[in-house]
Structure 1
Amino acid sequence: MSTLIQNIVLLAVPTGAAAGAGAVAVHYRRRAAERLGVIRQLEGRVRDGEQRVSARDEEARNLAAQRLPALIVALSRGDGGRHRDAGLLHPQLADTETGAAYHAVLDQVAVLANEAAERAEGAARAAVEAVVRSMQSLINEQQVAVTALQDLQSDEKTLAITIPIDHASSQLARRAQIVGILTGMWPGRQRADTPLLETIRGGVSRIRDYPRVEITGEPTAYVAGRVVEPVVLAAAELLNNAAQHSHPGTKVYVWYLEGHNGISIVIEDAGIGMAPEERERAARLLSGQNPVRITELRTPPRFGFQAIGLLAARYGFTVSVEQQSVHGGVRAVLHLPRALLVTAPTHAPAPEPAAGYVPDASAPGGHPYPVAVEDGLPMRRGRRGSGLPAAAPATSVPRPGAGRGLAAFVRGTSSARPNSTNSTDQEQIS
Structure 2
Amino acid sequence: MNPLVQDVLLWAPSVAAAAAGGVAIHYRAKAGQSGRAAAEAAVRADRRVAVHEVEASHLAETRLPRQVLAQQSRAEAGTATEGLLHPELAGTEVDTAYRAVLEQISRLIAEQSELSEGAARVAVRAATRSVQSLGYELQVAITQLLDTRHDEKLLELIQPIDHATSQLLRRLQLLSVLTGSWPGRQRDDTALLDAVRGGMSRIRDFRRVQVPATCEFHVSGRIVEALVLVLAELMDNAARQSAPTTPVEVTVLEAHRGVSVQIHDAGPGMSAEVRQKADRRLSGREPFRFTEIDNPAAFGHAGVGDLAARYGFHVSIDEEYSRHGGTRAVVFIPRDLLVDAPADPAPEPAARTTPAPASTAAADTAEPARSYPVAEDGLPMRRRVKPQPVESTLPATEPPPRDAGEALAAFARVTRAHIPAQPRAPKEPTP
Q: What is the distance in 1 between the residues matched to 2:338 and 2:418? A: 29
CA deviation profile, 1:136-168 (whole Å, cap 9, x unmatched): 000000000111111112332111111100111
Answering whether residue 423 of structure 2 is matched by residue 402 of structure 1, we say: no
Answering whether residue 403 of structure 2 is matched by residue 389 of structure 1, we say: yes
Give the equivalent residue in structure 1 for 2:270: 274
Q: What is the distance in 2 between the residues matched to 1:388 and 1:271? A: 50
Give the equivalent residue in structure 2 for 1:84: 78
Q: What is the distance in 1 between the residues matched to 2:408 and 2:179? A: 49
Q: What is the distance in 2 between the residues matched to 1:317 and 1:308? A: 10
Which shifted more, 164-173 or 36-45?
Answer: 36-45
Give the equivalent residue in structure 2 for 1:333: 330
Give the equivalent residue in structure 2 for 1:110: 106
Match among 218, 231, 236 for residue 235 of structure 1: 231
Q: What is the distance in 1 between the residues matched to 2:248 and 2:130? A: 33
| Mapping 1:293-372, distance limit 5 Å | 293-324=289-320, 325-345=322-342
| Partner secondary structure for residue 291 of structure 1 | coil
Give the equivalent residue in structure 1 for 2:137: 141
Q: What is the distance in 2 between the residues matched to 1:204 and 1:395? A: 23
State the TM-score, normalized to the length of structure 1. 0.77
Q: What is the distance in 2 between the residues matched to 1:137 and 1:348? A: 36
- With over 3 angstroms needed to count, the CA separation of the structure-2 counterparts of 1:236 and 1:19, relative to structure 1, is same
- With over 3 angstroms needed to count, the CA separation of the structure-2 counterparts of 1:226 and 1:296, relative to structure 1, is same
Which shifted more, 338-347 or 50-59?
Answer: 338-347
Displacement after TM superposition at 1:258 (Å): 0.7
The residue identity in structure 2 corresponding to 1:248 is: P
Give the equivalent residue in structure 1 for 2:41: 45
The residue identity in structure 2 corresponding to 1:160 is: E
CA deviation profile, 1:306-356 (whole Å, cap 9, x unmatched): 11111000000000013332322111001111111112138979xxxxxxx
- With over 3 angstroms needed to count, the CA separation of the structure-2 counterparts of 1:166 and 1:299, relative to structure 1, is same
> What is the root-mean-square deviation of aligned Cα atoms in Å?
2.8
CA contact (8 A) 1:191 1:229 kept: yes
CA contact (8 A) 1:217 1:255 kept: no
| Partner secondary structure for residue 89 of structure 1 | coil
| Partner secondary structure for residue 189 of structure 1 | coil
Displacement after TM superposition at 1:13 (Å): 9.7
Give the equivalent residue in structure 2 for 1:207: 203
Q: What is the distance in 1 between the residues matched to 2:192 and 2:126? A: 33
CA contact (8 A) 1:183 1:294 kept: no
Q: What is the distance in 2 between the residues matched to 1:139 and 1:242? A: 25
Give the equivalent residue in structure 2 for 1:364: none
CA deviation profile, 1:24-75 (whole Å, cap 9, x unmatched): 4332322222112111211221122122111111111111111111111122
| Structure 1 gap ranges (5+) | 1-11, 350-385, 407-430
Give the equivalent residue in structure 1 for 2:118: 122
CA deviation profile, 1:390-413 (whole Å, cap 9, x unmatched): 4759999x999936949xxxxxxx
Q: What is the distance in 2 between the residues matched to 1:401 and 1:283? A: 38
Give the equivalent residue in structure 1 for 2:349: none
Match among 9, 14, 33 for residue 29 of structure 2: 33
- With over 3 angstroms needed to count, the CA separation of the structure-2 counterparts of 1:400 and 1:156, relative to structure 1, is closer
Greater relative CO (CA pairs within 8 A, separation 6+): 1
The residue identity in structure 2 corresponding to 1:206 is: R
| Partner secondary structure for residue 193 of structure 2 | helix
User: Which structure has the larger Rg over C-alpha atoms?
Assistant: 2
Give the equivalent residue in structure 2 for 1:420: none
CA contact (8 A) 1:132 1:176 kept: yes
State the TM-score, normalized to the length of structure 2. 0.76
Q: What is the distance in 2 between the residues matched to 1:322 and 1:244? A: 17
| Structure 2 gap ranges (5+) | 1-7, 347-399, 421-431
Aligned length: 356
Displacement after TM superposition at 1:87 (Å): 2.8
Q: What is the distance in 2 between the residues matched to 1:321 and 1:288? A: 14
CA contact (8 A) 1:271 1:329 kept: yes
